[in-house]
Structure 1
Amino acid sequence: MDRLNDKSPQITTEQIVKLLKPWALWSSAIESSTITDVTLHLQQSSSSQVVFYRLTNGERALELLKQRIESSNFGLLIITGAWSQDEECGNVIQVSEDGFLLAQQAVADLFYCNNHKMKLVGVTGTNGKTTVVSLAEQISNNLGHAAICAGTIGMFANAIQVEGNFGNTTPSYIDLRKFIHRYQNSYEVLFFELSSHALVQQRVFDLQLDGAMWTSFSQDHLDYHKTMNAYFDAKLMIATHALKADRSLLLPAAEKELIKRVKSCFERVQLCRTLEQWGFGEIPLFFRPDYNRSNLELALQINQELWGQVAPFDLERLKTPDGRFSTMKVGDALVVIDYAHTPEALERVLAAIREGFPERPLSVLFGCGGDRDRTKRPLMGEVAIRLADRVYITSDNPRSEDPQSIIDEIICQIDSQRDSVFVEVDRTNSIIDALGRLRPQELLLIAGKGHEQYQEIAGEKFQFSDFEVVKKFNQKQGEGS
């Protein structure tokens, strides 16, 4: 991969101190040194880097920060929050909360050019973001326009991963600036996921979008946004704050309620053409469910807006992202692994499977994440019991919560059909149990984790993959035959 733009200028700490004066509240003694890069990752920093750090959680976070400072090797630390102005910690500048992003922008401008010609396209929505950016990137490359995409599963170009997982759906502002600088001479466009968190936190800040898409809207992240109205307003920021003034927000034609609500508060809206209007013939299985048709329509429409007319092509050429309606055979049964982790997403996937295979038995296995929106747990339980013949309830990423308590909240409103509900806290054991109970021609949806390669339990991340559990089950069955 071309990384000619990784060569960084040599900037002194004195230059940065002078640059940050408009927002500085306090500064410790600053040693003179040369700075070559910027990061938000204190524990992985080097002596030639500026580190930006937001202090948030009171005394515990403050003590943690001091410990990290003692064990880290940074050139200059720029913090915001309730810092104790500890003189023993050298090379620290405290800036105001209002100035934190402005300081990042000013320092980033020293290292990363902001007059690039790369087009930036953001995708928001409760579900479908990963699929849309992946499809848009592939279509663009198929049209002869070098494209790259970034999001939940990392950064990809032509199905090759060029950057690892960011830890968040949307990279930080600093990382976005860094990636744009790094790849500006290699790619014409970056398609990237824009979460509601990222929009509220202004991770795009001064980066103006050449295109914006909104896939869907339903309940999620109320632990963060508190209300659906606040969640909607956060999503809308992709149009009101991030999109260039002469561009329109693309919406799927099938999302009638979303269209109505967005149009009531934002004028520049464009609806996507349907696959029928595009003139495509045979539609592959992956794109037959309504939600994936909409995802494809968005990806096609944005490419037409960017490059001009898109002629129909063989849709089988498009690869689907890992963990998005991915299928594996187990005997004559079929397992579907999908990232669906909201009530709407779970309902859409189950309904699509039921519609496509109405005569075959259908089971679903899922859990709900800990330390996240608790109100969606019984909603997902209701969806599962209504649309599946058997329901396996297990753990997702319980994080700091008790896994059994999460399960209890999922099943709290399931009064009937309890004989078709199987509860097992351990996700591996639950999957093995579900696979062992598979009936001839049955379909099993394993939902919630999709591409993820870990499970987070009691604050620790353990290696885990739904795909690997199914693969090992198949291997064991083959050995026993």
Structure 2
Amino acid sequence: MEVSSRGLEQERVGGIAFDISIYTNLTHDHLSYHTTFDEYKRIKTTLFEHLTKSIAIINRDDDYAQHVIDNTKKTARVMTYGIARNHDTDIYASNIQLSVHGLNFDINIPATNITEHIHIPSLVGKTNVYNSLAALACAHLALNIPLDLCKDALISMPPIPGRLEFITMPEDPITVIIDSAHTPDGFKEILSTIRDCRMSNNLLCLFGCRGNMDHANRSIKATIAHQLSDKVIVTTDMSGSEDPKQIIQDILAGFSSTSNSDDNVIIEIDRRKAIEKAILSVMQDGDTLVILGKRHDINRMLQDRIIDFDDRIIVRECIQQRIQRSL
């Protein structure tokens, strides 16, 4: 179960006694609800303050890991995971190789002197190394499931829809990636991951921002997208009751602080047209387009109505048009 900060603050999980709780990281998120980061951090930490005879699994590499450990109830057992080798890390990764063809790394468990290699073809990026370690810590260290079974489960896991989801066709040499990252840290992680994989000629980023939330992050996400992409296409997301044009104006404020030319920023308020323009007019053979922010599996909520919309369907239609155009 994923437990949100809102769920904790509203005590929606107050009647559940968790046997295992996992802490991944803490970023500047949901501040439109919690107002300050300190309040957000306090609420997230309550999940671990109320553990009894349970297990807390902590990402030791996170900046706030020690804060969570210090506030975990003393009757709970603490386990840690990470990439940086700390003296007290219970499971960590080494010899990490990142590519668009999956993850390769060594699993290290100091207590039992175990070092085993794993290749996970369906996952990409350093974040998923951390997620894999968290899953291994939970299943193998906490629940005593044999390591071979845990590895088999990770290796055979299908791709996760809407999370670094690749959309390609063998007849067309472009790549489109869809990811529901919607925070500045998420933007930076996804775009840096694609950059690190050195998989394309030009990297394009298409995104909008959701209405009625996290106004301050709009310009920050624009700055990150501009710094890490060769071209940026700004469009709408789920605008809610806000004016989409105002949301885009808030986004554009983030481009003034970058040194890149404005020629590398394209504005198209209609999301379908933005995707069509990116794939059919802007992208060249060998380019990669990353579409960020919108959940892949839900409708678009506009000011006055809800419409059916799936980025993946539009992308596939556009790639088919490119293929037909090249015949």
TM-score by length of 1: 0.57
Q: Does residue 293 in structure 1 map to residue 158 in structure 2?
A: no
Larger CA deviation: 309-318 vs 451-460: 309-318
Distance 1:380 1:208, change over 3 A: same
Shift of 1:479: 4.2
Distance 1:445 1:285, change over 3 A: farther
Alignment partners' CA distance in 1, 2:295 and 2:69: 33
> CA offsets, 1:181-206, max 9 Å, x none?
xxxxxxxxxxx111111111111121
Distance 1:288 1:464, change over 3 A: closer
> CA offsets, 1:141-196, max 9 Å, x none?
xxxxxxxxxxxxxxxxxxxxxxxxxxxxxxxxxxxxxxxxxxxxxxxxxxx11111
Q: Match for residue 209 of structure 1?
A: 18
Shift of 1:260: 2.4
* Structural mapping, 1:334-349, within 5 Å: 334-349=175-190
SS in 1 for 2:233: strand
SS in 1 for 2:277: helix
Q: Match for residue 368 of structure 1?
A: 209
Q: Match for residue 403 of structure 1?
A: 244
Question: Identity of aligned pairs, percent?
Answer: 27
Answer yes or no: is the 8 Å Cα contact 1:218–1:344 preserved in 2.
yes
**Residue number among 205, 216, 219 corresponding to 2:28 in the alignment:** 219
Which residue identity is paired with 1:342? T
SS in 1 for 2:206: strand
Alignment partners' CA distance in 2, 1:286 and 1:350: 18
SS in 1 for 2:64: helix
SS in 1 for 2:196: helix
Shift of 1:360: 2.9
Distance 1:464 1:390, change over 3 A: same
Distance 1:219 1:403, change over 3 A: same
> CA offsets, 1:374-428, max 9 Å, x none?
1111110111011111111111111010111111111203124211011111111
SS in 2 for 1:412: helix
**Residue number among 69, 88, 92 corresponding to 1:274 in the alignment:** 92
Gap regions ≥5 residues in structure 2: 82-90, 94-105, 110-114
Higher RCO, Cα 8 Å, sep 6+? 2
Q: Match for residue 156 of structure 2?
A: 317
Alignment partners' CA distance in 1, 2:21 and 2:136: 13
Alignment partners' CA distance in 2, 1:459 and 1:218: 32
Q: Does residue 382 in structure 1 map to residue 223 in structure 2?
A: yes
Larger CA deviation: 458-467 vs 383-392: 458-467
Alignment partners' CA distance in 2, 1:429 and 1:297: 40
Q: Match for residue 70 of structure 1?
A: none
Which residue identity is paired with 2:55? S
> CA offsets, 1:425-460, max 9 Å, x none?
111111111112112211110011242331110153
Answer yes or no: is the 8 Å Cα contact 2:203–2:288 preserved in 1.
yes
Q: Does residue 261 in structure 1 map to residue 58 in structure 2?
A: no
Pick the structure with greater CA Rg.
1
> CA offsets, 1:105-150, max 9 Å, x none?
xxxxxxxxxxxxxxxxxxxxxxxxxxxxxxxxxxxxxxxxxxxxxx
Q: Does residue 431 in structure 1 map to residue 275 in structure 2?
A: yes
Q: Which stretches of structure 1, 4 residues or more, deviate above 4 A after TM superposition?
A: none
